[in-house]
Structure 1
Amino acid sequence: MNASELIFVGIDVSKDSLEMALDDKGKTLHISNDEKGIAELHAAIMLACTPVEPNEVPRTVSAIVLEATGGFERKAAIALCSAGLPVMVMNPRQARDFAKSLGYLAKTDAIDARVLSHFARTLYHSDKGVQLLMHLPDAGQVALHALMIRRKQLVEMRVAEDNRFAMSEKAQRKSIDAVRKVLNKEIGKIEQDMDGHLKEHFAKQLKLIDKCKGIGPVTKASLMAALPELGSLSHEQIAKLVGVAPLNCDSGTHKGKRITWGGRADVRCTLYMATLSAMRYNSVIKTFYDRLISKGKLKKVAIVACMHKLLTILNAIMKSGKPWDDEYLIKNP
């Protein structure tokens, strides 16, 4: 198919509006970020594919790129993906770096939408284009992800109240303590809902890692909700996706230290806490950690390596369908 017959859509997302560009030079479409606006967005994309002249060849949407904008992009992305369109949700830093590389120093919604359209064209022609396509989450994952977000919000509020209590005056403490009790109660309810949801929708997957010490209910929920690719990717790909893969930093004769960065922060934070527990109670991870320390590795480096190993094992278990077995894993490190 000729390049002129392909459409690359860029959508700049904000809380209240969506700015769509069908190329990197033409006019943009400004619509509201709600159900009505998303329906108009889909209709406009479909209209752009419709031939105007009788003998004109229909155009095809090859890639739609949106920036991850704190969840404000989620409804539009899911709606377009549900309609069978190729959607990619990209990190804003990557999009901004791409814009700077093209010389776009100014920043407006229209400019960002055109840049994202250009970015969509580039990603489509890259070898990673297929990997970046969004896969529609099932209803169970959507609901579990929503519960995870709500629990995180409640925990953050509880931490804020705990911090206030530590420096509060006597007259304030009764109120702060009452709020903390309410938050603890709500967090407990959310965790019960999460546990029930896991048992109902993810019993088969969780049975495989049930004997893995260190993997608690919150970690299980995070893996099922925020890392649906677990078990479908290679160990290198899943490690990069989470952000625990050591990346080269070499140039010429300079050989820099291997570093980890990027990835899904929520999953990585949960995996970190699980790894700390596993280093104490999980014989496989504890043995691996002790071996790294005995070789002179820094504790921080050893912990990240344990995170990487734990994630790799979980990915292999989900892929193979064979449950966690301490003895097997110790004999086959």
Structure 2
Amino acid sequence: MILATTVICIDVSRDWLDGFCASNGQRLRLPNTAAGHAQLLAQIQDLPQPVRVGFEATGGQEWLLWSTLVAAGVEAVQLPPAQIKAFALSRGTRAKTDRIDAELIAGFMLFRPEAGRKLPGENLRILRTLTTRRGQVVEMRKRLSAQIAARRKQHIPADLEAMDANLLAMLDAQIADLERRIKSIIEQEETSAAKARLLLSIPGIGPVSTAMLIAEMPELGRMTSGEAAAMTGLAPIPHDSGAMRGKRAIAGGRRALRHVLFQAALAAACHNPVLKPVAQALKRRGKPHKLVIVAIARRLVTIANAILKTGVPWQPQLER
């Protein structure tokens, strides 16, 4: 097979870059450092152009390399690990090493050339970092609160109670500071600020869910309602075979965003004048609470997609 584009796939770890070139089968191993990135760029420049580089999302290990490649004019995309894992299972690949992973990513890119996320702008990268950190601190506070509630039944000393209170206050202060910084970053860029104003017009979507939608779903407003629901993992997936009709379930998507939308759906089910009757109707039909919240969250994200697409703030008559 002759490839019009030279495809290079890299398995990124903390210390190393393990690469595989799909065009000629060559492998490389370079340190995940500034010097290693410079070596990689030099090798890319010697290859037939254009070049497309892909790597899995690895929790941030790939961001510096990603920025370096894009700054040098190289097309580079971040690929979804869940889809690559499913691709590996479809091929019967069970062994796992960094070298095998690099070749596997190359196979996935050839199979799905349209897959991958492009590097977001600097403001969006900062916003995504801040929203991720806020989620981590909120989770820490939640766990600490549960531990404090459990310890209160054990009659712990007063000085330990004071320590717990200080820890909670510190986490509260960090959350408040992160939320101020998130608000400031959104307001710095007119595109993000305009999106925020439109999203905040929807009853049920507050500052936290607005920030997450802007940071984690920049494509919102440029897709169909079905694509928006699928990207958040809120689209029901059929499990049918022949005459059997299996139970629909949600799966996949961007997990952190889906969790925030669940919280927004809880508020919308109580306060959104359009979605509240929908939630009540589902409850009267005997639908489980979780199914009701999923349905409201799915409607919320499709409404948000439509509003960003039209640029018109939310109005009750828009949703029937």
- TM-score normalised over the length of structure 1: 0.86
Structure 2 letter corresponding to 1:213: P
Shift of 1:199: 2.7
Unaligned runs of 5+ in 2: none
Secondary structure in 2 matching 1:9: strand
Q: 2:136 aligns with which of 153, 156, 161?
A: 153
Matches within 5 A, 1:224-235: 224-235=214-225
Alignment correspondent of 1:46: 45
Q: 1:291 aligns with which of 281, 285, 309?
A: 281
3-state secondary structure, aligned to 2:28: strand
8 Å contact kept, 2:78–2:118: no
SS in 1 for 2:11: strand
Structure 2 residue aligned with 1:314: 304
Is this contact kept in 2: 1:64–1:120, CA < 8 A?
no
Which residue, 242, 263, 275 being the options, matches 2:253? 263
Given the alignment, which residue of 66, 73, 77 partners 2:66?
77
- Note if contact 1:89-1:134 (Cα within 8 Å) is conserved in structure 2: yes
Stretch deviating more after TM superposition (261-270 or 133-142): 133-142
Question: In the alignment, residue 187 of structure 2 is paired with which amino acid?
Answer: K
Q: Is the 8 A contact 1:141 1:225 kept in 2?
A: yes
* In the alignment, structure 1 residue 179 sits paired with structure 2 residue 167: yes
Give the match's secondary structure for 1:48.
coil
Amino acid at match of 2:175: I
Partner of 1:33: 32
Match of residue 54 from structure 1: none
Matched letter for residue 12 of structure 1 = D
Q: Which moves more between the two structures, 88-97 or 11-20?
A: 88-97
* Per-residue deviation, 1:20: 0.7
Aligned-pair CA distance for 1:308:
0.8
Is 1:100–2:99 an aligned residue pair? no
Q: 1:112 aligns with which of 94, 101, 107?
A: 101
1:180 Cα offset (Å): 1.8
Amino acid at match of 2:19: M
Equivalence for 1:215: 205
Deviation at 1:225, TM superposition (A): 1.0
SS in 2 for 1:228: coil
Structure-2 change in CA distance of 1:302 and 1:31 (3 Å): same
Given that residues 9 and 120 in structure 1 are in contact (C-alpha distance below 8 angstroms), is that contact kept between their aligned partners in structure 2?
Answer: no
254 and 46 in structure 1: CA distance in 2 versus 1, 3 angstrom threshold: farther
Shift of 1:25: 8.1
Structure 1 residue 43: Cα displacement: 2.4
Asked whether the 8 Å contact 2:11–2:55 carries over to 1, the reply is yes
User: Is 114-123 or 207-216 further displaced after alignment?
Assistant: 207-216
TM-score, with structure 2 as normaliser: 0.89
CA distance in 2, matches of 1:162, 1:298: 28
Residues matched between the structures, number: 313
Distance in 2 (CA, whole Å) between partners of 1:250 and 1:103 is: 24
Residue 227 of structure 2 aligns with which residue? 237
Identity in percent: 34
Residue range with higher mean Cα deviation, 226-235 or 184-193 = 184-193
Deviates more, 1:233-242 or 1:198-207: 198-207
Displacement, 1:174? 2.5
Deviation at 1:141, TM superposition (A): 1.1
Q: Matched residue of 2:200: which SS?
A: coil
Deviations 1:154-197 (A, max 9, x none): 22222233233234432532322222221211211111121222
Match status 1:8 vs 2:14: no
